[in-house]
Amino acid sequence: MTDLQTAMTTRHTVRKFTGEPLASDAREALEQRISELNEKYVLNMKLMSGGEKTVSLFGRMFLGGEGVREFILLAAPEREGVEEMLGFCSSDLMLFAQTLGINTWWIGGTYDRRQMLALAEGDIVAGIVAVGYGKTQGTPHKSKTPEQVSSYEGEAPEWFRRGVEAALLAPTAVNRQAFRIKGVGNKVKITYAGGPLSGVDLGIVKHHFAMGAGEDNFEWQDQ
């Protein structure tokens, strides 16, 4: 099991941070990871400071958000499917951060959108990921069962079952888990019910499934 696969089971959403800045070696490693993903997928994600003003008043009052000082801006040139790609890569970054001892909070609505769009300099913004050292390590979210979110034509192979279990660990907007995973042979198709952030959520779920199933074991079926 890789470090990222282990991180799927240990990473939980954290909304209360100590405010302590990232250690220099952890920041350097995270920035390198962001740079590699930007180059590979033509994105413009950025690790930024000043996060204390990014979480909205609603987020601070009703979600308990506090101590956010640093965050990843999920930005990219606008094109078809880019929100899904930002979701996919943000999942990678959250799991990678977990391996560095960094906690995360994926924020899709309760942030200062005007400020983030200005920082994105013309790119679209799918959301932000708060990063830092949590006051706690968070708790597992309430989850649906594999039978509620997946089906396989015939007897499901072990890799498919592992992929579904990993997908159920993925963070989704308001914990909707509104996805459906279908498999036949080595083909897998994942769909997500329409709604706010559905494209981003689809990308996050697909990344988790791929990490759990093993990318060599299956192929994505055309959506």
For the chain, counts of helices (H) and of strands (E): 8, 8
Q: pTM higher than 0.95 for the full model?
A: no
Instruction: Tell me the CATH number for domain 3-132.
Output: 3.40.109.10
- Shared fold status for 3-132 and 146-220: yes
Give domain 146-220's CATH superfamily: putative nitroreductase (tm1586), domain 2 (3.40.109.30)
**Cα separation, 97 vs 91, whole angstroms:** 10
CB contact at 8 A, 101 and 17:
no
Q: Residue 176's pLDDT is what?
A: 86
pLDDT tens per residue across all 223 residues of the chain: 568 889 999 999 998 899 899 999 999 999 999 999 999 999 999 999 876 666 654 445 445 568 888 999 999 999 999 999 999 999 999 999 999 999 999 988 777 788 888 889 989 999 999 999 999 999 888 899 999 999 999 999 999 999 999 999 999 887 889 999 999 999 999 999 988 889 999 999 999 999 999 999 999 997 5
- Sorted by where each begins, the domain ranges of the chain are 3-132, 146-220
> What's 175's DSSP letter?
G
φ/ψ of 85, rounded to 5, equals -65, -40
**Cα separation, 113 vs 119, whole angstroms:** 10
Q: Residue 112's pLDDT is what?
A: 78
